[in-house]
Structure 1
Amino acid sequence: MLVSFVIPCFNAIDKIGRCMASLERLHFDPALYEALFVDDCSTDGTDELIKKTCTQVENWRFIQLERNSGSPSRPRNKGIEEARGKYIYFLDCDDEILPDALNELTRLAEETDACLIRSELLAENGKQRKRMNQMDSWHSALTKKEKIELIIKKQSTVVTSFVKADLLRKHSIRWPEHLRMGEDTVFLATMLAHAEVVEYLASPTFIYFKIPSMTPASTQRYGRRELSDHLEVWSSTQQLLEPLAINYIQVRLNVGLRVSIESLIFKNRGDVNVETFDKFSRFVRTHWAILKKFKYSRRINEVLLSIQSGEYAAFLKLTKPRLLIAGHDLKFIEDATPELSEYFDIRFDKWQGHAIHDEVQSRECLEWAEYIWCEWLLGNAEWYAKHKKPRQRLVVRMHRMELARDHGSNMDLDKVDAVVAVSTYFFERLLEKYPNIPRHKARLMHNYVRVDDYDTTWHPDRLFTLGIIGVLPSRKGYKKALEILKELKKHDVRFNLKVFGKRAEDLAWVAKNPTEMAYFSDCQTYIEENGLQDSVDFVGHVDIKKELARQKVGYVLSVSDPDLDFPGPESFHLAIADGFAGGGVSLVQHWPGAEYIWPENSLGKNQDAVVDEVIKFANEEPSFQTASQLGMSFLRENYNVSKFSVEFNCLFLELI
């Protein structure tokens, strides 16, 4: 047996196939190599797939650990113990070995008696392949020190090394199992420190797949554990290479430190405590004479200086990505600032209108930002899509009104990373209205509700008080609410209606619209003709979180028109959340998409169904209280602000 592949596996059923297929394509005598698939107790069927395949291919072996180790190091060490080949080749289960790789590697190893061979690779990101780990200045006359220094300086520490098994066994070289990050650096440095002959193959031997995942994996996050591992790796590697007169920190750490700081900014888990920060600070101060000479961007240098000076509070602020929120009306996002500030350093670019803004201010904000969130798909989205830089990530959130405008068609979609809809129905409407938006860029993120900010004081009059939050424009269904009130008063004269928001004459564009004004004039006539003057109270524009309880509102009505044209019905209708959060019950006369957002028991097919529900609750207070509590629980579970902020952060993590 000449070569043993050691391939650690864990929950890789959707990607291990390409690794296996590449082994089958090798231009190498199958009798001269073996493939050891070491499974770390997979739970997705990977183990069964490997086991079955290994029974069909000679010299392929399935090995499974007794319990999950949590990293590839233990499976690789098990592979070292089990390997029968003269050489060991470490290959990850989601990568591919190239057809002629073993011929080239074994030929070079046999000709030079190499203990260790490093080669080039092809990096695949789903769009293109890039040749990497090249060392053009390598030549046979280099000393061992010069060769090792070149490898450390020019190559990434990918796991794929071609190494003599005797080197590993003679010096008890093993993968450091306690490390979850940087273990490949320590392993490579240990081999280099003990190898007598080190060689380089100037051609790729494998394909390294680095294709982004839709869901951020644990390895895409960076925090206390990862930083602690890196601090140990950097110090250990420095000590391993010092006997060779190689200063690892000077030769390589400019890359490693930059990547670590960038990870702390853009992948931060947010758990770096004072103790870990102090270790980081001591390390930086110890090697400051070298580190201060590294050429970094101003952004990275700011973080590095905070570490060097031991300023923990400054470090925490500086290691948050810079988020710019831009738009003309920020009522659906600005209130989440406290929760979002746990993840981001936030600034606002408040526009004066759909396409009116201070361009000087917007350009200053743009220069500062790393992430941009455009609230509303309007002129702000067009402007930022036009001017954003390649290093920045841009997300646009669409509510409802945007579907009646053309900004989505005019926006440069190549510059937009994601477009967010606030409900399932409007997710599809977004793509229907703007076919230029590719589906893979569309996302769903519901609105949030601060349930605990509402006054829920109980009063028996709530059982007889209806509320409608916002009656402008006419599609909000004010007339329907009046018709419901009229029917209810046939059962009990105590029923009344509170109207929250502006009157028709208070909003210029409504006041200038003859059709709209005719509708509201008809509503007033209806009130007078049916004797509802004393039962309808215009409360006005108030703090709805307090006034629902103060006005003793028990039922909030959502009776908007089920318009199927653009822009369409309600996209989310936050008034429904107000009703439940304010200690009442929200009742919805069904509009398209409501069933995907609100509890089934709050939906009525028509006005008669809404009337029947109110009468039932008015006669059965316990049923009312139960429905109100269920609605409150529904909000807490589905639309709480903490969940929104986590989803918000995960979206940008996905786009890194």
Structure 2
Amino acid sequence: MKISIIIPSFNATDKIGRCFASLRAINMAREDYEVLFVDDCSSDGTHELTQKACLTEPNWRALRLENNSGSPSRPRNFGIDAAKGKYLYFLDCDDELLPDALTQLLDLARSTNACIIRSELLSDNGSDRKRMNQIPDWENCSTLDKKREVIINRTSTVTNSFVKREVLLQHGIRWPEHLRMGEDTIFLAEVLSHSQCIEYLRAPTFVYYKLPSLTPSSTQRYGRRELYDHLQVWTRVQQIMLPLGIDYLKGRLPVGLRVALESLIFRNRGDVDEACFHKFHEFVSSNWSVIGQFSYAKRFSELLQTVNIGDYSRFCKLCRPRLLIAGHDLKFICDAVPALEEHFDIRFDEWKGHELHAENQSKALLDWAEYIWCEWLLKNAEWYALNKKPHQKLVVRMHRMELSRKYGECMNMNNVDAVLAVSPLFFEKLLERYPNIPRHKARMIPNYVRVDEYRTDWHPSRLHTLGVIGILPSRKGFRRALEILRELRTKDQRFKLEVFGRNPEELPWIARDAEEMAYFQNCEKFIQQNELSEAIHFNGHVDIKQALAERRVGYILSVSDSDFGIPGFESFHLAVADAFASRGVAFVRPWPGSEYLWEKKYIIENEQKIVENILSISRKESEFQSMAEEGRSAIKLNFSLERFKMSVVDLYREFL
């Protein structure tokens, strides 16, 4: 057996397919090489998938560790022990081996008696492939130490090395199992330091994929463990290479440290505590004579200097991406800002209208920003899509009314990373209304509810108290709520209605609309004719989180018109979530999209059925309490502020 290819895997069902395909395309006799898949106790069926693939490939083997190790190092070491080949080639399960790679590597190893061969690679980001790890002056590397220096300092230390197995066994070289990040650098340094013949193949042997996958890898998050790993790697590699006359800190640390600083800003898990920071500070300050000479962009230099002086509080503030929130009427997103500030440094470009803003101020804020959030798909989105810089990430959130405007038609989608909708139906309406928005750039992040801020006091009167939150405009269906109240009171005079929100006269655009005003005048006549005045209380604009329990509301009615056109009417209807958050119950007359948001039991086909449901549970307090608690739990699970916050964080991380 000439070559053993060792491939660790963990939960890789969505990304191992291209690796399989590349291995089947190898141009070498099967009896000359073997493929060892070593699974780290995957839970998604990766091992079973690999076992099935091995059934048709006689030189493939599917191995598995007894316990999950948490890093690819132990599977690689397991593969070293199980390998039969004279040479070992390490490949990651989401990468692709090129067809002629093994033949080229083996020919070079045989002709030179190489202990290790490094090669070029192709980096694939989904749109193009870039040739990397090129060493144009390799022929000038006349000594072993020069070869070691060039490889360790001028190329990336990706796992893919062609190594003589005897070197590993003779010197006890293993992959460092305590590390999850940077283990490839230490392994390469150890091999280079013990190799008497080091060669370089001036040709790519594999494709390194930088595409995001459904299964996040450890490199997509950065925090305490990763920083500790890097500190150990930098220290250990310096210890290995310095006796050979190679200063790793001067040669390669500028790149590694910049990557760490960038990761601390844009991939930060948020768990770097003071103890970890102190270790980072010790490393930087003790090597400041070297590190202080590194040339970085102002953003990274500021963070590095903060580490050097040991200012943990400022470090935490600087380790946040700069998020600019722009648009007119920012009330919806501003409520989430305290939570978002845990992860972002936030500034605002508040427009005076849909098209009115101080352009010089917008430009200055744009120069500061790294991420941009346009609240509303209006002129603000059009302006930022025109003016943003290539390194900045732009997200636009659409609510509902923007579908009746034309701004989205003029937006430069090449400069927009994502457009958000707040519900499944409006996700589809967004794409229907604006065909210039590619489906892969559309996302859905629902609205959120601060469930724990709602009063949930219980009072028996809640069994007989209805509520409507917002009656404007007429399409909210206030008349239907009145009809439901009338029918209920024919059965039980204890039923009453609490109305929250502004009256028609308080909104100028409704007060000027004769048709709208006629509707609400008819509602008033209905109240008088049916003697409902004493059963209805108008609360005006209030803090709904407190008012629902204070006014003892048990049922919230969502009885809006069923508008299937564009823009449609209800995109989410927060009132339903308000009901459950206050430990009440909501009943929804079917409006388009409600079935994607709320459980079927709460969506009632017509007003008469709503009446029947309310009458039924009003007589059974235990049933009411059960429905209310079930609904509240669902709101916490699906529409919490924490979930909204992390959805925003993950969305921007997706674009890195």
1:336 offset after TM fit, Å?
Answer: 1.9
1:314 offset after TM fit, Å?
Answer: 0.7
SS for the counterpart of 2:539 is strand
Cα gap change, 1:276/1:567 in structure 2, threshold over 3 Å: closer, same or farther?
A: same
Task: Give the corresponding residue for 1:487.
Answer: 487
1:243 offset after TM fit, Å?
Answer: 0.9
Is contact 2:192-2:198 (8 Å) kept?
A: yes
**Sequence identity, in percent?**
57
- Aligned-partner Cα distance in 2 for 1:506–1:17: 61
Matches within 5 A, 1:38-49: 38-49=38-49
Task: Give the corresponding residue for 2:293.
Answer: 293
Whether 2:24 is the aligned partner of 1:21: answer no
SS for the counterpart of 1:139 is helix
Is contact 2:14-2:213 (8 Å) kept?
A: no
SS for the counterpart of 1:263 is helix
Is contact 2:223-2:272 (8 Å) kept?
A: yes
1:322 offset after TM fit, Å?
Answer: 1.5
Tell me the alpha carbon deviations over residues 616-647 of structure 1, each in whole angstroms, 9 at most, x when there is no partner.
34444443333333332222222221222122
Task: Give the corresponding residue for 1:357.
Answer: 357
1:324 offset after TM fit, Å?
Answer: 1.9
Whether 2:583 is the aligned partner of 1:590: answer no
SS for the counterpart of 1:604 is coil
Count how many residue pairs are aligned between Structure 1 and Structure 2.
Answer: 656
Is contact 1:23-1:97 (8 Å) kept?
A: yes
Is contact 1:385-1:394 (8 Å) kept?
A: yes
SS for the counterpart of 1:540 is coil
- Aligned-partner Cα distance in 2 for 1:6–1:315: 40
Task: Give the corresponding residue for 1:274.
Answer: 274
SS for the counterpart of 1:419 is strand
Matches within 5 A, 1:21-420: 21-140=21-140, 142-214=142-214, 216-420=216-420
Whether 2:620 is the aligned partner of 1:614: answer no
Task: Give the corresponding residue for 2:533.
Answer: 533
Tell me the alpha carbon deviations over residues 26-63 of structure 1, each in whole angstroms, 9 at most, x when there is no partner.
33343333333333334444334444444544443343
SS for the counterpart of 1:497 is strand
Cα gap change, 1:187/1:518 in structure 2, threshold over 3 Å: closer, same or farther?
A: same
Cα gap change, 1:58/1:273 in structure 2, threshold over 3 Å: closer, same or farther?
A: same
- Aligned-partner Cα distance in 2 for 1:638–1:98: 44
Tell me the alpha carbon deviations over residues 63-108 of structure 1, each in whole angstroms, 9 at most, x when there is no partner.
3333332222122222222333332222223322222223322232
Task: Give the corresponding residue for 1:437.
Answer: 437
Cα gap change, 1:288/1:500 in structure 2, threshold over 3 Å: closer, same or farther?
A: same
Task: Give the corresponding residue for 2:449.
Answer: 449
Unaligned stretches of 5+ residues in structure 1:
none
Is contact 1:216-1:650 (8 Å) kept?
A: no
Tell me the alpha carbon deviations over residues 219-266 of structure 1, each in whole angstroms, 9 at most, x when there is no partner.
311111111011000000000001111110100011100101111111
- Aligned-partner Cα distance in 2 for 1:547–1:73: 57
1:269 offset after TM fit, Å?
Answer: 0.9
Matches within 5 A, 1:499-648: 499-648=499-648
Is contact 1:215-1:654 (8 Å) kept?
A: no
Is contact 1:216-1:654 (8 Å) kept?
A: no
SS for the counterpart of 2:509 is helix
- Aligned-partner Cα distance in 2 for 1:55–1:547: 66
1:601 offset after TM fit, Å?
Answer: 2.8
Corresponding letter in the other structure for 1:631: G
Cα gap change, 1:234/1:486 in structure 2, threshold over 3 Å: closer, same or farther?
A: same
Tell me the alpha carbon deviations over residues 97-144 of structure 1, each in whole angstroms, 9 at most, x when there is no partner.
222223322232233332221111111222211111001122155322
1:475 offset after TM fit, Å?
Answer: 0.5
Which range moves more in the overlay, 30-39 or 368-377? 30-39
Is contact 2:14-2:214 (8 Å) kept?
A: no
Corresponding letter in the other structure for 1:255: V
Task: Give the corresponding residue for 1:423.
Answer: 423
Is contact 2:11-2:215 (8 Å) kept?
A: no
Cα gap change, 1:32/1:278 in structure 2, threshold over 3 Å: closer, same or farther?
A: same
Corresponding letter in the other structure for 1:68: N
SS for the counterpart of 1:280 is helix
Which range moves more in the overlay, 200-209 or 80-89? 80-89
SS for the counterpart of 1:356 is coil
Cα gap change, 1:64/1:629 in structure 2, threshold over 3 Å: closer, same or farther?
A: closer
Is contact 1:599-1:634 (8 Å) kept?
A: no
- Aligned-partner Cα distance in 2 for 1:360–1:383: 12
Corresponding letter in the other structure for 1:25: A
Is contact 2:465-2:497 (8 Å) kept?
A: yes
1:342 offset after TM fit, Å?
Answer: 1.9
